[in-house]
Chains A and B, each alone.
Chain A
Amino acid sequence: MPIPKVRVLGLGNVLMGDDAVGPWVIEELLANWEFPEGVEVVDVGTPGLDLVPYVADADTILIVDTVRSDGPPGTIRSYSKEQLLARPAQPRLSPHDPGLTEVLFALTLAGAAPRDVVLIGVVPGSVEMGVGLSSAVQEAVPRAAAMAVERLRGLNLAPRRRASPARTAPWWEEPAALAST
């Protein structure tokens, strides 16, 4: 049987507070787990249509991103492909605006859409400019990562826990040294 193509993608801007939760979960996964062949785990930033290569021709896409939804910051909700496609994509002016929904529509029309898509959505607190997650969202990072691991187990692509974490903090969390006087 061919090895399925599964991609775990973290979306978000690491410079915009809690919007960094997607990239953070990716860092958490890469630091603590080793993934089997067929699974790619990538922090894709805020790619607009540059998401296409990561989504095209995959079997399953697991996306971690912030979502607007009820509940306090740090609440996690999952959405299916059908739920994501239930709303049409929106008109837009700039290339940033087309997001996941539009990429899925375009790839469906092109015949290269992934079979399954799962969105693991985290409700953000502050998305003001600045580096660092709010405590409620920081606390959601291991839970969201565990959900991704669980999904992979369900696909018979369970990752292996590393004996010790491969790194301690993502590069953007390195404290800025105060300008010397």
Chain B
Amino acid sequence: MAKRITVDPVTRIEGHLRIDVEVDGGKVQKAWSSGQMFRGIETILLGRDPRDAWLFTQRFCGVCTTVHAIASVRAVENALDLEIPMNAQYIRNLIVAAHAMHDHIVHFYQLSALDWVDVVSALKADPAKTAALAESLSPWPHNNRLELAGVQEKLKSFVDAGQLGIFANGYWGHSAMKLSPEVNLLAVSHYLQALEYQRKVNQVVAILGAKTPNIQNLAVGGVANAINLDNEATLNMNKLYMVKDILDEMGAFIEQVYFVDVCAIAGMYPEWLGYGAGVTNYLAVPDFPLDGKGTKFDMPGGTIFNGDLANVREIKTFNDQYFKENVTESIAHAWYDGDWTKHPYDEDTVPKYTKFDDSKKYSWVKAPRFQGKVMQVGPLAEVLVAYALGHEPTKRWAGKTLATAGAVAKTTLTPAALHSTLGRHAARMIRTAVISELALKHWKLLADNIGKGDTTIFNQPVFPKGEQRGFGFHEAPRGTLSHWVVIENGKIKNYQAVVPSTWNAGPRDEKNQPGPYEASLVGNPVADAERPLEVLRTVHSFDPCLACAIHTLDPEGREIARVKAL
């Protein structure tokens, strides 16, 4: 008989995502994804100055601050047809690159590795054997026996003190955990090193953005980083070289640690290269612009339908009509008043909460569609589109990844393996490696441009009377993000953000087509309904990130009441 499992962290913490699955015969038959909190932050922007919008949009979310700031200034610049100086473009690109590396490393090590790594098992590992294994995989200097024994010692004192709470989502001892104690110890050691490296790369965002989270250096029309190579207070040679040193160090960590770990896990859990595909329509937008207007990019974007890489269609510019005209959102199954499917410029956000009814309305998340089709967004979409378009660094890193993971699994892997739960992790790592190369390239472009004597950072925006419409997109760590703004007489008249997790976590639409999370869970095995680790593996592979809003601390540990949404 079918059994219903609800993964709803709302009763324990302010979770924003609820997943319901129906399991029969040890497999998921049906799934529903529900955003559990109203997110109508766009309404705060109505009537405000479009030049300030980015300050507010970067507070939508506490983790993805930078990306909403970038998409917002791009949207307003698009509405004004405003070109920005090259220095501004490169500085933004460097911030975007550093943020993405940071975000992807945190996701893999701190947020999802424990779906695959059994922490407690690491206590049984032999550090010498672990070091020998590690040295056979990578030249990384911090995989030696002494450092690994030190990590094991620390972990032991942690476990002895009953402090395993940090790994509370780890299902240690679960039958789906398959790594040897040695591999588990190596992973725990890299978990700790990743904490250090995510801090390091965030310094790039802090140096260029003045602060992180919530950068302060943006402006509609450019950036606010005054450039003077000899002045302590501005962007100078010293700061530029601090950025370069960090980018070099990140490149080594990504190649010698992150790449190796993802290949090893993919190779040791090859069956998870078979589960979790779901929707194989993909959407990605181009990013890392190479000119002031956004007509040439270092990372391509486009669409793929039904996993058919041969018929990829490219999205080419910041003003791409194919993208602009084909995005809609449906509220057929979302808690808003009405039953419409509309273009973002024409939407409204009128909440109307009813109960959770999976045949009617069951989520605060709208269902975005492209040409009426469900699209998966995120690193996998970006990597597949770039691969299909022949993007050299993507093809090189994807090839290396498939070969290395295939060698561990003792099989031959093709790009088709990427349509899967572990394929999403692999794609995220491939994207991180490509971005770490692009970051160094754009660092050089910036340094060369400044070297030529160009210190321009800003073009003044001018708001004409009447109405302007604009959209700005950004290929963010979780995928395609777009902001849509309508300006009237210099004030914001309408604002909509179509965010990556809306594309992926959205509910069914008016045609009852399930969203990407929902589709990807169907067919997943579930060994133990009480501990649905496999469901978490697939959901986590998307890097879910919904509506950051309230996070009130609960130091006294009482039961948290469900946040009653309107």
Q: Which residues of A contact B (CB under 8 A)?
A: 11-16, 19, 42-50, 52-53, 56, 65-69, 79, 83-102, 105-112, 119, 121, 124, 127, 129-131, 171-172, 174, 176-180
Q: Are A68 and B553 CB-contacts (below 8 A) given A89-B165, A95-B545?
A: yes
Partner of B63, one of A14, A95, A109, A110: A95
Q: Are A110 and B7 CB-contacts (below 8 A) given A15-B60, A83-B555?
A: no
A-B pair number, CB within 8 angstroms? 210
Partner of A109, one of B38, B166, B202: B166
For the complex, is B489 an interface residue (Cβ under 8 Å from A)?
Answer: yes
- Rounded to whole angstroms, the CA-CA distance of A118 and B9 in the bound complex is 27
Residue pair B13, A97 in contact (C-beta under 8 Å): yes
Residues from chain A with Cβ under 8 Å of B14 in the complex: 97
Q: Are A92 and B15 CB-contacts (below 8 A) given A127-B552, A179-B47?
A: yes
Residue pair A14, B59 in contact (C-beta under 8 Å): yes
Residue pair A177, B47 in contact (C-beta under 8 Å): yes
For the complex, is B230 an interface residue (Cβ under 8 Å from A)?
Answer: no
Residues from chain B with Cβ under 8 Å of A101 in the complex: 165
- A selection of 28 A-B contacts at a CB cut-off of 8 Å is A11-B551, A13-B551, A15-B59, A15-B549, A19-B550, A45-B65, A46-B551, A48-B548, A49-B106, A52-B195, A68-B552, A87-B165, A88-B168, A90-B13, A92-B13, A92-B169, A93-B536, A94-B544, A96-B546, A97-B14, A98-B110, A106-B195, A108-B163, A110-B195, A110-B196, A112-B195, A119-B555, A127-B550
Q: Which of the listed residues B110, B158, B211, B543 has the most CB atoms from chain A within 10 Å of its own CB?
A: B110
Given pairs A46-B551, A179-B492, 17 additional interface contacts (CB within 8 A): A12-B551, A45-B59, A50-B212, A90-B13, A95-B107, A96-B61, A105-B166, A106-B166, A108-B158, A109-B154, A111-B154, A112-B195, A119-B555, A129-B43, A176-B45, A177-B49, A179-B46
For the complex, is B62 an interface residue (Cβ under 8 Å from A)?
Answer: yes
Q: Which residues of B contact A (CB under 8 A)?
A: 7, 9, 12-17, 19, 38-41, 43-49, 52, 55-56, 59-63, 65, 106-107, 110-111, 154-155, 158, 163-166, 168-169, 192, 195-196, 198-199, 202-203, 206, 211-214, 488-489, 491-493, 536, 539-540, 543-546, 548-558, 560
Residue pair A90, B168 in contact (C-beta under 8 Å): yes
- Rounded to whole angstroms, the CA-CA distance of A19 and B551 in the bound complex is 8
Partner of B544, one of A16, A47, A93, A108: A93
Residue pair A66, B111 in contact (C-beta under 8 Å): no
What are the 10 closest A-B residue pairs judged by CB atoms, nearest first?
A: A88-B165, A46-B62, A105-B166, A91-B169, A179-B47, A90-B13, A176-B47, A66-B552, A96-B548, A176-B48
Residues from chain B with Cβ under 8 Å of A84 in the complex: 555
Residue pair B63, A47 in contact (C-beta under 8 Å): yes
Residues from chain A with Cβ under 8 Å of B492 in the complex: 179
- Give A175 Cβ to nearest chain B Cβ, in Å: 9
Residue of B whose beta carbon sits closest to that of A89: B165
Residue of B whose beta carbon sits closest to that of A93: B17
Residue pair B199, A53 in contact (C-beta under 8 Å): yes
Residues from chain A with Cβ under 8 Å of B555 in the complex: 67, 69, 79, 83-84, 87, 119, 121
Residues from chain A with Cβ under 8 Å of B63 in the complex: 46-50, 95-96
- Rounded to whole angstroms, the CA-CA distance of A110 and B198 in the bound complex is 13
Residue pair A19, B552 in contact (C-beta under 8 Å): yes
Residues from chain B with Cβ under 8 Å of A88 in the complex: 163-166, 168
Q: Which of the listed residues B12, B13, B15, B212 has the most CB atoms from chain A within 10 Å of its own CB?
A: B13
Residues from chain B with Cβ under 8 Å of A93 in the complex: 7, 9, 15, 17, 19, 536, 539-540, 544
Residue pair B195, A131 in contact (C-beta under 8 Å): no
Residue pair A178, B59 in contact (C-beta under 8 Å): no
Residue pair A50, B202 in contact (C-beta under 8 Å): yes
Residue pair A49, B56 in contact (C-beta under 8 Å): no
- Give B197 Cβ to nearest chain A Cβ, in Å: 11
Residues from chain A with Cβ under 8 Å of B48 in the complex: 176-177
- Give B242 Cβ to nearest chain A Cβ, in Å: 15
Residue pair A67, B544 in contact (C-beta under 8 Å): no
- Rounded to whole angstroms, the CA-CA distance of A91 and B166 in the bound complex is 9
- Give B226 Cβ to nearest chain A Cβ, in Å: 20
Partner of A15, one of B56, B158, B212: B56
Residue of A whose beta carbon sits closest to that of B549: A16
Residues from chain A with Cβ under 8 Å of B163 in the complex: 85, 88, 105, 108-109
Residues from chain A with Cβ under 8 Å of B206 in the complex: 53
Residues from chain B with Cβ under 8 Å of A112 in the complex: 195
Partner of A56, one of B164, B199, B552: B199
- Give A96 Cβ to nearest chain B Cβ, in Å: 4
Q: Are A53 and B202 CB-contacts (below 8 A) given A96-B545, A124-B552?
A: yes
